[in-house]
Amino acid sequence: MDKNKVKFGLSNVHIAKMIIGEEGDITYGTTFPIKGAVSLSLDAEGDSEPFYADNMKYYESYANNGYTGELEVAKLPEQFYTEILGQKQDTNGGILENINDTISPFAFMYQIEGDQTGTRFCYYNTTVSRPSTEANTTEDTKTPDTETLSITTSARTDTGDVRYKLPLTDENKVAYNAFFDAVPEPTEASV
C-alpha cells in the first residue's frame, strides 16, 4: 500500500524494446536507462458512455485507451535512436536516419519520489514519434537544450495490461529493487 501523501521528482527512466513473436507473444529486450529526465506528463485516454433507461443513467461503460503525453530529457542516448527509432549506426559512429526506419514499441519505466518512498511505474506498450531538433546560441548563461518525445501508451495485445505501479513496501523490496533489471511481469492479482 502506497503511504505517500505527496509525490515529486522524476528519475530512473528506463526502456526495453518490445519483441512480438510470430504467434503474437510479447517479450522484451534488455532494459537500458535514459539519463537526464526533466519532466513527464501523461494524460489518460478513453471516454465513458452512459446508457439511459427508466428515465435515469442505468449503466456507464468506460474505455481505457492508455495515455498520451510528453517526456522531456536532457539528451537521448544513441541506443534509443538505433534500437527504438530504427536508425543505423555506420562504421564512423554516425547515426543515419532513413525514410524506411521502423519505430519499435517498447516498455517505458520510471520512478516518482514521495514523502515516504519512491513508486515505480511500467507502461507495457509505448510508442513515440521522432524528437524535434532544437539548438540555441550560448548567451550570458549556459542553459542546456533538451529533447522532448511525444509518447502514446496502450494495452499489451497479449494480456491487455496497460500500466504497472509498484510502491516500495517492506514486503516487496526484492521486486522493487529488481524493477529496472527487466520489464516487470506482475504476479497474480489479489482482490
pLDDT of 27 > 60? The answer is yes
Domain membership of residue 110 (yes or no) is yes
Domain membership of residue 2 (yes or no) is no
Lowest-confidence pick of 54-58, 88-92, 177-181: 54-58
* Cα 100-66-5 angle, rounded to 5 deg: 130
Q: Could you list the residue range(s) of the whole structural domain that residue 25 is in?
A: 7-48+56-177
Domain membership of residue 69 (yes or no) is yes
Q: Which three cell numbers stand for residue 155?
A: 494495452
Domain membership of residue 187 (yes or no) is no
Domain membership of residue 129 (yes or no) is yes
What is the DSSP code (8-state) at residue 185? -
CA dihedral sign, ordered 79, 130, 127, 101: negative
Q: What is the pLDDT of residue 189?
A: 61
Residue type, 126: T
Domain membership of residue 183 (yes or no) is no
Beta strand segments in 54-146, E: 56-62, 67-73, 88-89, 95-96, 106-114, 119-128
Arithmetic mean of pLDDT over the chain = 88
Nearest to 74 by CA among 22, 8, 142, 7: 142
Total domains in the fold of the chain: 1
Domain membership of residue 188 (yes or no) is no
Buried b vs exposed e over 66-96: b needs ≥16 C-beta within 10 Å? bbebebbbeebeeebbebbbebeeeeeeeee
The predicted-structure confidence for 113-143, as pLDDT tens digits, reads as follows 876 788 999 999 999 998 877 777 777 777 7
The predicted-structure confidence for 73-112, as pLDDT tens digits, reads as follows 999 999 999 999 999 999 999 999 999 999 999 999 999 9
Domain membership of residue 186 (yes or no) is no
pTM assigned to the model: 0.85
